[in-house]
Amino acid sequence: MGIARKSAIDYFAQNTALVVSFVAGILLSKYFSKEGRGEYVLVLFANTMLMNLTNMGVEISTRVFAGRRNASVAQVHSAAVTLIIIVSVLVGIVLYFFQGLVCAHIFRDVPPHLLFLAALLLPISLYEMVWQGIMVGLGEIATYARLTMWNRIAQSAPIIILIAFTFPQIRWLVYAWVAIQVITLIISLVIMERRYGLFERFDFHLIRQMLSFGWVVYIGNVAAALLQRFDWLMIEGLLGKAGIGLYSQASTFSDKLTLIGGSLERATYEPAVNAEKNYAPLLIQKVFRYNLYVNILGGFLMYAFGSACIHILLREEFLGSLFPLKFLIISVIFMNSSRIIAIYFTAHLGKPSIPGLINWIVLPVSLVICYTMTKMWGINGASIATASVYFIHAVLFFLFFIRRNPEISLSAFFLPEKGDIDYLRKKVFRG
């Protein structure tokens, strides 16, 4: 199965879930208002931040090690689960002894009992990353897409049901999310056991290899996580919870465009891992070009329909998210372009240090731009700042790729070639 077919399956599954999550997001915004939505976002953000801070690059390392088949899938799975257990225990110890310090400086505004709940769910969330990494590394995109679709639909359905038939509290929605995560874990384990086996004795050298690779990924991801965290803290500090709620509404619409880049990234990973040296840059170049075209079209449609939905379905107070939506869509297009090029360094060359270096270069620039523009122009400035930062990010990725492959034609990244149709027919769709 080729890249286009795999990404199409993945994208279809993502959009099927999108319909349900879209309705859930609208109901959530209308029922809880900007402040309530901002509170809900902050609560779920605790789990995401814990994952970002503790994942050790486990998803990317499992993608690469499972894709290269240097060890059996069961051995890679066993090594990854061992790492998850160790990290979860360490996180529990840190939170137990330094809960006040952590809440004050990292998870501000997240109630302590919900932070504890997020910590309890951390092993499950990390395991989802491991499972997804193995499926993507093996090219099992259809399996990955089906379970992800179920998970996202199941997460959104309680919001619709509870709001439609009851008078729920935020905590009800969080507990419903917890139940769905547990069920997803059980299904993931069953799939893994039936296809590849859950556990197999492994050499601890495999853990050292995964850690050495994963820690480089992790260090780069820390910069990306800090960038996101500090930007949101700045917006919250300068604009309040209402500003966060409004900004998150615009992000909810624009983030749907990341489904395109995510689908292409996952479908490209396994071919890029095993591609020949001379073919890999051409593969990335072609995928980059198709990704750019589809993202531009998707961005236009997302803004058209997103604007209409905000006008028609939401309260008048959410009309302030229309301007931010424009620039957040642009920022997502730049971000998706960076993700495609990053595959070359991480998957093919096995050098995640290059994307990590770029993330750390962009971090201080992001802080200055975000603070300055948000201070000057409010939420509109925050969205312009986000677009500017991701543009810089994409340009740096592009320059690093060109420096590594100076023989590559620059125009081929952006302009269609005569052989594109034949390539799609012979190489992609017939894989």
Reported as a single tens digit per residue, the pLDDT across 194-234 is 888 888 888 888 888 888 888 888 888 788 777 777 777 77
Tell me the average pLDDT across 159-173. Answer: 66
Q: Phi-psi bin for 203: left (phi > 0), alpha (psi -120 to 50), beta? A: beta
- 103 CB-near residues (< 8 Å, 6+ apart): 110, 112, 115
Domain ranges of the chain: 3-428
Whether the predicted pLDDT of 388 surpasses 60: yes
Whether the predicted pLDDT of 431 surpasses 50: no
pLDDT tens digits, one per residue of 267-289 = 777 778 878 888 888 888 888 88
pLDDT at position 171 = 65
Q: What is the mean pLDDT of the chain?
A: 77
CA quadruple 194, 125, 246, 26: dihedral positive or negative? positive
The pTM for the full model equals: 0.73
Whether the predicted pLDDT of 385 surpasses 50: yes
